[in-house]
Chains A and B, each alone.
Chain A
Amino acid sequence: MKITWNWLAEYVDLSGLTPEQTASDLTNAGIPVEWMERLGPSLPGVVVGRVLSVAAHPDADRLRVCTVDVGAASPLAIVCGAANVAAGQKVPVACDGAVLPGGAITRSKLRGVVSEGMVCSAAEIGLNTKLLPKEQTSGILVLQDDARVGEPVAAYLGFDDVVLELELTPNRGDCLSLRGVAYEVAALYGRAVRMPDDAQSPRLRAGEFPLSVRIDTDLCQGYAAQVVAGVVPGPAPIWMQMRLLAVGVRPTGNIVDITNYVMYEWGQPLHAFDYDAIADGGIVVRQARDDEEVATLDGQTRRLWPDVTLIADGRKALGLAGVMGGRDSEVTGATRTVVIESARFDPLQTRKTGKALQLRSEAEQRFERGVDPAVVKPALARAVALLERHAAGRAGAPVFAGALPDADETAVEVVVSPAAIGGLLGYEVTAQELTMVCGRLGFAVRADGAPGGDRLRVSVPSRRADVAAQEDVAEEFARLAGYDRIPATLMEGELTAGGLTPRQHLQRSLRHFLLSRGLQEVWTYTLTSHAQLEKAAIVEGHPLRQAAALDNPLSEERAVLRTTMLPSLLEVAQYNANRRAPDIRIFELGAVFYPLRLPVEEQPGEARMLAGLLSGRADAGGWQGAARAFDFFDVSGMVEDILDCAGVSRRAVEAAPDTSPYFQPGQAAMFTIGGLQIALFGQVRTTVAERFDLHRAYYFEVDFDALDSLARTRLHVQRLPRHPASERDLALVVADAVTAQQLLSAVRKAAGPLLADVRVFDVFSGGATGDGRRSIGLRLVFQADDRTLTDDEINGSVAAALAGAARDVGAELRAQ
Chain B
Amino acid sequence: MEERLQDLQRRALAELARLDGAGPLEDWRITFLGKKGELAEVLRGMGALPADRRPAVGMVANRVRDALEAGYAAQRELAARAADEARERAEAVDVTLPGRRNPPGAEHPLQRVIRRLEDIFVGLGFTVADGPEVELDHYNFTALNFPPEHPARDMQDTFFLTGDLLLRTHTSPVQARTLERSAPNSPLRIIVPGRVYRRDDDDATHSHAFTQCEGLVVGRGVRMSDLKGTLLAFARAMYGGDQQVRLRPSFFPFTEPSAELDVRCIHCGGAGCATCKQTGWIEILGCGMVHPNVLRMNGYDPAQVSGFAFGMGVERIAMLLYRVEDIRDFYVNDLRFLRQFAGVVL
Contact = CB atoms under 8 A, between A and B. Distances in A.
B336 to A, nearest CB: 7
A550 B159 contact: yes
B127 A426 contact: no
B209 interface: yes
A561 B134 contact: yes
Interface stretch (B31-39, B54-62, B69-77, B216-224): B216-224
Contact of A498 (B126, B161, B257, B306): B126
A351 B291 contact: no
B134 A606 contact: yes
Contacts of B123: 498
A581 B332 CA distance: 14
B229 A488 contact: yes
Contact of A478 (B127, B159, B224, B229): B224
A357 interface: no
Interface residues of B, number: 89
A426 B223 contact: yes
A469 B145 CA distance: 14
Contacts of B232: 488
B228 interface: yes
Contacts of A494: 187, 219-220
Interface string B227-260: 0111011000000000001111111010011110
Given A475-B256, A486-B225, A489-B223, A523 B334 contact: no
A603 interface: yes
Interface stretch (A209-217, A509-517, A535-543, A686-694): A509-517
Per DSSP, chain B at the interface is mixed
A553 B188 CA distance: 36
Contacts of B162: 551, 599-601
B257 A622 contact: no
Contacts of B331: 523-525
A527 B165 CA distance: 15
A576 B334 contact: yes
Contact of A551 (B125, B160, B248): B160
B84 interface: no
Interface string B102-132: 1111111011000100100111111110001
B230 A490 contact: yes
The residue in A427, A504, A523 that gathers the most chain B C-beta atoms within 10 A of its C-beta is A523
B333 interface: yes
Nearest to B223: A426
Contacts of A517: 104-105
Interface stretch (B10-18, B148-156, B263-271): B148-156
B213 interface: no
A554 B208 contact: yes
Contacts of B126: 496, 498
Q: Range of interface residues on chain A? A: 35 or more
B336 A579 contact: yes
A624 B100 contact: yes
B151 A484 contact: no
A489 B104 CA distance: 41
B226 interface: yes
A508 B335 CA distance: 21
A511 B108 CA distance: 10
B29 interface: no
Nearest to B126: A498
A171 B124 contact: no
B333 A487 contact: no
B335 A479 contact: no
Interface stretch (A22-30, A315-323, A727-735): A22-30
B108 A471 contact: no
A602 B217 CA distance: 30
A490 B250 CA distance: 22
B226 A606 contact: no
Given A518-B104, A591-B133, A491 B226 contact: yes
A514 B121 CA distance: 25
B335 A523 contact: no
Interface in A168-189: 169-173
Contacts of A561: 134
A548 interface: yes
A176 to B, nearest CB: 11
Contacts of B115: 508
A282 interface: no
Contact of B251 (A170, A484, A504, A522): A170
Interface string B146-186: 00111110110001111001010000000000000000000
B8 to A, nearest CB: 51
Contacts of A600: 161-162, 165
Given A493-B220, A498-B123, A601-B162, A169 B251 contact: yes
A549 interface: yes
A503 to B, nearest CB: 9
A749 interface: no
A526 B220 CA distance: 39
A492 interface: yes
Contacts of A488: 225, 228-229, 232, 245
B189 to A, nearest CB: 5
B65 interface: no
Contacts of A426: 223-226, 228
B151 A369 contact: yes
A551 B160 CA distance: 5
Given A427-B225, A601-B162, A554 B201 contact: yes
Given A490-B233, A498-B123, A527-B208, A521 B106 contact: yes
Interface string A554-569: 1000100100000000
A486 B333 contact: no
B195 A548 contact: no
B188 A479 contact: no
Contacts of B221: 423, 492-493
A606 B228 CA distance: 35
B292 interface: yes
A368 B148 CA distance: 12
Contacts of A519: 105
B309 interface: no
Contacts of B289: 424, 471
A520 interface: yes
A472 B293 CA distance: 12
Contacts of B149: 348, 351-352
A425 B223 contact: yes
Contacts of A514: 105
B219 A491 contact: yes
Contacts of B334: 575-576, 579
B292 A170 contact: no
A762 B223 CA distance: 68
A483 B249 contact: yes
B330 interface: yes
Contacts of B320: none
The residue in A369, A471, A524, A554 that gathers the most chain B C-beta atoms within 10 A of its C-beta is A471
Contacts of B151: 170, 173, 351, 368-369
Interface in A589-609: 591, 593, 599-604, 606
A484 B225 contact: no
A490 B234 CA distance: 12
Interface string A217-255: 000000000000000000000000000000000000000
A586 interface: yes
A314 B209 CA distance: 52
B199 A602 contact: no
Contact of A486 (B189, B195, B247, B251): B247
B343 interface: no
- Which 6 residue pairs of A and B lie closest in terms of their CB atoms, listed nearest first? A426-B225, A30-B249, A169-B251, A475-B257, A426-B223, A488-B229
Given A424-B306, A490-B230, 8 more contacts: A483-B249, A489-B229, A490-B229, A517-B105, A523-B110, A579-B334, A591-B133, A599-B162
6 contacts: A170-B152, A425-B224, A479-B249, A488-B228, A496-B127, A496-B219
